[in-house]
Structure formats: C-alpha cells, structure tokens
Amino acid sequence: MIMIKRAFDLIVSTIVIAGILSWLLPLLAWLIKRDSSGPVFFVQKRVGKDGKLFSCYKLRSMIDGRVTALGSWLRLSHLDELPQFFNVFLGSMSLVGPRPYMPADCQRWAAIVLYPALREKVKPGITGMAQAKGLHGIACDVNTLSQRYHWDAFYVNNRSFALDMRILWTTFRRLFPRWRPSASYATTSLRMMVSAKRSISSNWGLHWSRKKSTPSAANSPMRSSTLAGVPTSPERRPRLETE
C-alpha cells in the first residue's frame, strides 16, 4: 500500500508540475505581483507525519494581515494550494491525507481532542476525507472540529488506495459549485458514520468495522470540558487558523 501510494503520488505530481504548473504558476505569479507587492509564494512550517515539521508551499493570498482581492479568488478556487504538488513530489505530503496544521494549531487541537497524534500516523495531504465532505476553511466551533477529527480518524484507520481514489474523485467534483456539499451534508454523514455496523454512505461504498472504528459519540474523542460548552465566548472558542 505504501509503495503504491508513493508511486501514484510521484506520477501524478510529476504530470501536474510538468503539464499544468509549468505554465499556470507563471501566470498566477504575474497576477499576484500586479495585485499587490510582496513575494509570490508563502512558505509556512506545518506538522507532518510523526510530528515532524516541513515547509508547506502556497501562493500568497494576503498582505499586511488582510486577504487581497485576488487572494480571495485564489482561496475560493483552491489555486493557492497548487504549489503543494511540489511537497507531494518531494515526499513531505501526499495527494490524500489529513490536512497539515501549523504547530500552534496542533497545540490547540491537543487541548480539544483526546487523541491528537492519530492524524500524524500518515502523511498530510492536499485533500482528505474531511475536505471531501465539505469541511474546508478555518474551523472555530466544536462541531466542525469534531467532524474533522472523526473523518481524519476514519481515513487513518481505513486508508486504502481505493479510498484515495474515491476521495480524489469527490474532491475534483467539489471544485465546481454545483457539487459543493452544504454544512448539513457533513453533519448528516457524521451521524451515519457513528451509528456503526451500517454502511457509511452509498457514495463511499464502505462499511463500518468494529476493529477499525473511531470513538463513537458515546465515547467521544472530544474532551468533556469542551463538549460541555466551556468555550462559549469568542475569546475562548476553539479556533484553528490552518486551512
């Protein structure tokens, strides 16, 4: 599985870099330079497999702490994450896996969930199961964080090449507005997942396994103080800045 996944990552990243990024990145770089002053690329330390730090590449979408006009479009279209195909090529990331968090966000994550290191058992990915379920952007509420954790944990415990292919196909469809899921879609999917012994979703064609299950709602991975509603004010609300 590991060798097949790495070979697939190398093949796809090489094709994307040579066939798409070779002409698209110069165009986007020109647009970024025209839109605002500053570097084209944004390099940030993220936490990878086994908790090791690596340099994650993105196209710059902010200046002086504010999202630029072009940056908003880059984020909405996810084009700002195209340079991460270089991370995949270099081996610090994979095409599919839990999204990499910043070290500070990992500390916040550890204060919210009981098993924060679970998602670090595999390489982080450009997309993951949580993203395929519509859980994008900055997370700042317990419900979203819980859903992200459940889907990341499900991927880690049930990862396979076939599941990667389904996630990639779903992610590709979600790039188009017509196919983007609503928040209720992710919530409904989560409820289906924790019901156990049942099919997760006809879209995935997978079945829940006792052996590979993640904690259920009755034995939640979220810390009890968080679930009890302790972080009620905006200042105390859990927030992950990583996209």
Residue 142, domain extent: 103-227
CA distances from 37 to 15, 21, 67, 76, 144 (A): 31, 22, 13, 21, 35
- Structure letter (DSSP) for residue 143: H
Cα three-residue angle 50-225-136, rounded to 5 degrees = 55
215 and 130 housed in the same domain:
yes
DSSP H helices in the chain: 2-16, 22-35, 69-77, 84-90, 103-110, 129-132, 142-158, 161-174, 183-194, 224-227
pLDDT tens by residue, 211-241? 344 444 444 566 644 443 333 333 344 455 5
pLDDT tens by residue, 121-144? 999 999 999 888 888 766 567 778
The last residue of a domain, from among 63, 94, 125 = 94
Number of structural domains in the chain: 2
pLDDT recorded at residue 110: 81
Question: Percent of the chain having pLDDT more than 70?
Answer: 71
